[in-house]
Structure 1
Amino acid sequence: MKKTLLLVILLINVFFASAQSTAEYIEEYADIAQDLAEEHHIPASIILGVAIHESAAGKSKIARYLNNHFGFKGKNSNTEIRSAYRDFPTVDSSYVHFITFLKSRNHFNTLFDKHDQYDFKAWARGIQRGGYARSRTWASQVIALIKKYELYQYDNRPEDYLEPVEPKPVYHAKKKSRRTYTVRKGDNLGSIAKRNKTTVKALMSKNGLKSSALKPGQKLKL
């Protein structure tokens, strides 16, 4: 019983420590995110959300040793860890590079004209479509972080701002094609059923037949 209680207390402490460290991360880097957002017209929530996701709120190895908070690959001169990720002189320079990267790549630079600086959902999905990450759920994960930590509060949205309504996907039911067979001379229900992988009983039921007699030219539902 005591072991179970201690385990529960430990898990609670870990949860709150994680939440606290993320809150501290947001407080530390909210200013640079907002400065970049204002200058380049991109949601600050996206900058913070991607940074939290890619760096585990500053706790990942590449964040701690390489100042890399956005998962950029490349050469590094660090001797403490072996990594395929590039290093940055400061965390702030990593943030600046994120914006430079988006604006210099054809897959992403159209987002600056296409979306406003408040629609974080559209930005997240657009960045994913551009190939920023391999995971198909990357955008959903970033959006979830933005909502969880209410990062949209750093976007300085106008009071009358309304989030764009997301169109619901429309699914069109496929119409079942009705197959028919035209009876030819010499046909019988058994041979027709065999060729069309069905049964005599099914053919008679579908076509309302009371006997197995057929006439050439007669159409049967299969």
Structure 2
Amino acid sequence: MIPEGKSVALPNEQVLVQRASKGDLQAFEALVKAYETKLYNVALRMVSDSEDAMDIVQEVFLKAYQALPNFRGDSKFSTWIYRICMNASLDHLRRRKKSQVYSLDAPIEFPDSEAQRQVEDTAESTEEIVEARFLGEKLLEILSDLEPHYRAVLILCDVQGYSYQEIAEIMDMSLGTVKSRIHRARNILRKLMDAEQIFPSYVKQDARRDDR
């Protein structure tokens, strides 16, 4: 997977948050513009459906707007809104698991994602683009095979680039639990990728982040 980099706070983000918490719609719209694509990419990787991801993002911003007056700033705004996004994504997966009727003949569709486009951008020939597109689709498919709690920490760590401590704050869990889940998630993902004969170099080694 190709890290996208975590959210970079706006120069005046704190001011925007304060204004939005007092009902300033323009300030809130500026926050939406800054985060909507990032949150969509996270939701998409969690639920593997573009329409569902869009619905989740709308739900996230609605909840954020309603809760902003009570936002005390104990954590960064980005941490706070990513937590809302992850919780909304996990809730969606729980509801879908209860209501979904599975068909062995139904194809699984994975929409274009930013990670897939990034892989394609490095390709030069048509053959390389086709191969890169296939690789991106397989990575998304394999990622969707992970249990949601493993998928969540892996997306935050290896795709969004958050540190273990930041993930602990976003997911509201202990640092030890985060490290354990990421370690297990990478091992599972590595085995799945090996089984599909996908380059294992895309799975990060735990040693590279142990000091984070």
Kindly indicate whether structure 1 or structure 2 has the higher relative contact order, using CA contacts under 8 Å at least 6 residues apart. 2
State the TM-score, normalized to the length of structure 1.
0.27
State the TM-score, normalized to the length of structure 2.
0.28
Largest Rg, 1 or 2? 1
